[in-house]
Amino acid sequence: MILLSVYLFTRFLNLFSEYDLAVRLIKKLGIADIFDELAFYFKFPFVRYAIIVGVLIALCSSLLGVTLVLKRFSFIGDGLSHVAFGAMAVAAVAGLTNDMPFVLIVTVISAVLLLRTGQNAKIKGDAAVAMISVGALAIGYLLMNVFSKSANISGDVCTTLFGSTSILTLNKTKVWICIGLSAAVVALFMVFYNKIFAITFDESFAAATGTRVSLYNLILAVIIAAVIVLAMNLVGSLLISALVVFPALSSMRVFKTFRSVTVCSAVISILCALSGMLISILASTPVGSTIVVVDIAVFFVFYLIGFLKAGIKK
Amino acid sequence: MKKTVLFIFTLILALAVCACDSASNGASGNAKTVADVLNEQTGNTTSDNSGQGAFVPTVTDTNMKCDLDVTSMNATVAYSQVIDFWNNPGNYMGKIIKVRGTFKVITDNGRNYYSCNLGDATACCTAYVEFILKDPLKYPDQYPKVGEEFTVIGEFETYLENGYTFCQLKNASFC
């Protein structure tokens, strides 16, 4: 960060003798080449769209991640992403030009069914998630193989499951839908922050104090579905859980209050998504996997910080 | 603590061994279908026309000034750029574009459609852009072999066929 600041300062002010040394050092390390390459790629609109949408998706998923981890619903994201994949397959077979509204509706319905059937369900929690998850994945892949007109089914499935370049191939309509959905998710989270806090930690107490728990669970289900559909564009179906879970878990190693964990989770998620995308663009690696690897690295760093912090306190 | 460290070390070692093993076997970029496996088992293998090495053109045009050079991008961004041609063709109309990829030809109703195919970094997905040469050359003698790498430069345009919009480089030439 210090070298970056010096480099930018010298580019702006022209060179002084002591900063000239820093610039020569930066050039020797090849950092200037990296910035030149990034500046070249940032000229293309689809790269700019990818960065904007990726950051928004990371923000939304991190806000949701804290609640899901605390309510022990981490695998709901995985299950719903598979449902979204199945819905996407149906939309592709049906020849829908824009599949996002259809996928969103199906995923919302599934989220509501999964989260609200906890009370009197014959098939409970994790079994229901597993059933719906693998069923949707199998049906989706079967439909794509039997009915798809695409010449590269494996590639289409690979892209949808792992998000190798989905974020870099968004058209304008999808970009605006993503921005709109992200804004709605953030707005809902901020408006209902206190209620979400209450139902996250103690649903029974919240219900006893007059909070309409079922309504807020429904709102949460809708938010989850929206974030899952958005996040599929960034990291693909199979890696969504990482995007939701890792930032929350990392921040929980160091911070203890709900607000601080949420803020830290958002910051970590945005920085990891941004770093992952930039590394992927420069090193030509799959976007989704790169972001998740950066998330894992940051988790280990925060785990170490938490470990040292606990050691110092003792 | 010791058990945790030992467990993590064993896990990393196991992952490293598995990675070495798959690297030595060589991973295929394309998923096989049931038909492919059955053909292999029954000995009915189809020959793969993937070309080796790059195509050296006999006729080139060095006068074209390139507006967008896709060959200077890495695989991920180049693939995304070609997808953007299809998503937002209006942004590229009339521009001179240079692309590098593998050659493919499709014959439909007696007409040959020539295309330049680009794969993403993992080679699991491909995007393509068609081209029509300015100087009519003889196929297949003066064209690349199917699957062979080549570079083509041309003016971007779209055309309608059977109700679908396609992208192509017109007045194109090999580089």
pLDDT in tens, A7-22: 555 554 444 445 555 5
**Domain annotation covers residue A157:** yes
**Domain annotation covers residue A19:** no
User: So what's the pLDDT on residue B49?
Assistant: 42
A46 within 8 A of A30, measured Cβ to Cβ: no
- The Cα of B87 is separated from the nearest Cα of chain A by a number of Å equal to 6
CATH code assigned at A213 = 1.10.3470.10
Could A281 and B76 be called an inter-chain contact, meaning their C-beta atoms sit closer than 8 Å?
A: yes
Structural domain count, chain A: 1
**Domain annotation covers residue A32:** no
**Domain annotation covers residue A248:** yes
User: So what's the pLDDT on residue B65?
Assistant: 85
**Domain annotation covers residue A140:** yes
> Chain A contact for B12, CB < 8 A?
no
**Domain annotation covers residue A34:** no
Picking from B31, B84, B121, the nearest residue to A46 by CB comes out as B84
Q: Hey, which bits of B32-163 come out as E strands?
A: 68-69, 96-108, 111-119, 126-133, 149-161
Could A41 and B77 be called an inter-chain contact, meaning their C-beta atoms sit closer than 8 Å?
A: yes
- pLDDT (average), residues A175-182: 88
Over chain B (175 residues), the average pLDDT of each successive run of 10 is: 71 63 45 54 46 62 81 89 89 93 90 89 80 87 90 93 87 90
User: SS3 sequence, chain A?
Assistant: CHHHHHHHHHHHHCCCHHHHHHHHHHHHHCHHHHHHHHHHHCCCHHHHHHHHHHHHHHHHHHHHHHHHHHCCCHHHHHHHHHHHHHHHHHHHHHCCCCCHHHHHHHHHHHHHHHHHCCCCCCCCHHHHHHHHHHHHHHHHHHHHHHHCCCCCHHHHHHHHHHCCCHHHHCCHHHHHHHHHHHHHHHHHHHHCHHHHHHHHHCHHHHHHCCCCHHHHHHHHHHHHHHHHHHHHHHHCCCCHHHHHHHHHHHHHHHCCCHHHHHHHHHHHHHHHHHHHHHHHHHHCCCHHHHHHHHHHHHHHHHHHHHHHHHHHHC
pLDDT in tens, A83-116: 888 888 888 777 776 677 888 888 888 888 877 6
Could A284 and B124 be called an inter-chain contact, meaning their C-beta atoms sit closer than 8 Å?
A: no
**Phi, psi (deg, nearest 5) at residue A39:** -60, -35
**CB-CB neighbors (< 8 A) of B125 in chain A:** 152, 155-156, 158-159, 164-165
Could A44 and B77 be called an inter-chain contact, meaning their C-beta atoms sit closer than 8 Å?
A: yes
Complex confidence, ipTM? 0.71
Which tokens go with A147? 């009915």
- pLDDT (average), residues A27-43: 78
- Of the candidates A116, A78, A84, the one whose C-alpha atom is nearest the C-alpha of residue A101 is A84
**How many beta-carbon contacts under 8 Å exist across A and B?**
75
User: So what's the pLDDT on residue A16?
Assistant: 44
* Residue-range definition of the domain harbouring residue A210: 42-313
User: So what's the pLDDT on residue B96?
Assistant: 94
Average pLDDT, chain A: 81
Which tokens go with B10? 């064993």
Which tokens go with A128? 């229901």
Picking from B30, B79, B87, the nearest residue to A165 by CB comes out as B79
Picking from A154, A280, A286, the nearest residue to B31 by CB comes out as A154
pLDDT range class, residue A146, cuts 50, 70, 90? confident
Could A159 and B125 be called an inter-chain contact, meaning their C-beta atoms sit closer than 8 Å?
A: yes
**Domain annotation covers residue A81:** yes
- Mind listing the domains of chain B with CATH numbers? 68-174 (2.40.50.140)
Q: Closest chain B residue to A161 measured between Cα atoms?
A: B124
pLDDT in tens, A188-232: 888 988 888 888 888 888 888 888 888 888 888 888 888 888 888
Picking from A40, A154, A168, the nearest residue to B80 by CB comes out as A168
**CB-CB neighbors (< 8 A) of B75 in chain A:** 284
- For tokens 């000034």, what's the residue? B65
- For tokens 């429904």, what's the residue? A218
**Domain annotation covers residue A266:** yes
